[in-house]
Structures are given as C-alpha cells and as structure tokens.
Amino acid sequence: MAKLPNIMQRVYKKLTTPSKIQDFINSIPANFELQGETNMAPLKVLEKNTAHCMEGAMLAASILRYHGRSPLIMDLRAKRPDDDHIVALFKVGSCFGAISKTNHPVLRYREPIYENLRELAVSYFHEYFDNQTRKKNLREYSIGVDLSRFDNVQWETTDKDLWEIVEAVDEARHYNIITKVQERLLRKAEAIEVQAGNITEWSKVGKRLY
C-alpha cells in the first residue's frame, strides 16, 4: 500500500471509528453527477467535496484501511427502475456493519450486529422501495469486494474515474435475497413510508437540508 498524500492522512487520522467515518461521509454533499457520470477515487472526493454512494463507499473503505481494516464494499442489486446501492463493510468482533452514503433517510448506516452478509443485506430490504411504484425492489447482494485488488491502478489516489471497480463489483458473485414466490407476495410500501422516503439531506446546490 503506497503512502497516502498529506490531505488524506490529516482527514483519516481523526476518523478512528466506523461511526466517526459515517458522520464524515454524511457531511460530504451529494454528487448528483450534473456534469456527467463519475466514479471518483477517495482523494478526488476529498478535493471535490462531493460523493454518490459508490464514491462514498470507496472513501469509507479507504479510511477503514488506514486504520488497519480490510477495504471491503458490497453491492445491493435492485430491480429496475431502482438503482443499485453500494456500502462499505466493517466488522466488530464477528459481526458485520455497513457505512453508507445516501441522500435519503433510508439505506443508511448499519450497526455491527449482523452475523453474516445476508443478514446485513436483508436489513435493507423493507426500506428499498421505489417512491413512484411503491414496490420493494432489493433482489441480490454481493460478496465483499476487496479494493486492495486495485492497488495497481492506485484506486485511492488516481485522478481517473474507477470504472474498472464498478465493473468488478457488478461481476462479483451475487446471491438472491428472495424467491420468485416471495416476490409475488410482496406488499407495497405504505404512503407514509413513501412520504418519509422523499426527504433528502442535500440539495443540488450543495445546501444541507437536515
């Protein structure tokens, strides 16, 4: 692992727990990709001060690595029209938790209380609905993808967009969360849940709303 630039070390040094990392990730304005799609490395996220879920997960994984943990991310794959969601993984003892960058009140941080990745992924299921159709759309979760595999492309500091990581996460082994029979029996989200789901943390001009 190459030595990180001073700007990264200054930020990372203070973020000694997953909870502190989550607070920091929350403080970064949401990346709405108004100038086109991005998948910025952690250093560029710090410089631009904006991140979407994948960029936030990679930054969280980089900070976790700085403090001696494995830089792992997991894909939560959704049925369209919903988008996939990416979280950074960490363990406390034998249990998993997750750090998450989202602009909505759901799909957020998970306490390290889950015995395996399936338990962790399923904890997102009831929150993972499309606000227009009210359908619950989470279908699969991936294995933990170790970002140290991408040290050869300097994933923590490169100025290039990391599309190879997007591809690797998409190609990683995924597991089904529900069966076809269970899918047919799903109940739609309630109106009050949809109303809550419409709340956002950041505006498109970078103003924090909550």
Residue 117 pLDDT > 80: yes
State which H helix or E strand residue 26 sits in. helix 18-27
Residue 1 pLDDT > 90: no
Domain count within the chain: 1
Residue 1 falls inside a structural domain = no
Residue 150 falls inside a structural domain = yes
Looking at the chain, the whole-number percentage of residues with pLDDT higher than 90 is 98
Q: Give 148-161 pLDDT, tens digit per residue.
A: 999 999 999 999 99
Q: How far is CA 135 from CA 29, 101, 107, 139, in A?
A: 28, 22, 15, 12
SS3 82: coil
Provide the residue range defining the domain that includes 57: 6-197
Residue 32 falls inside a structural domain = yes
Tracing tokens 């939560």 back to the chain, one arrives at 76
Q: For 81, which DSSP code?
A: T
Residue 2 pLDDT > 90: no
Rounded to the nearest integer, the mean pLDDT of the chain is 97
pTM here is 0.97
Section 116-144 average pLDDT: 97
Section 48-55 average pLDDT: 98
Residue 165 pLDDT > 90: yes
User: Where residue 162 falls among pLDDT bands split at 50, 70, 90?
Assistant: very high
Residue 33 falls inside a structural domain = yes
Residue 94 pLDDT > 80: yes
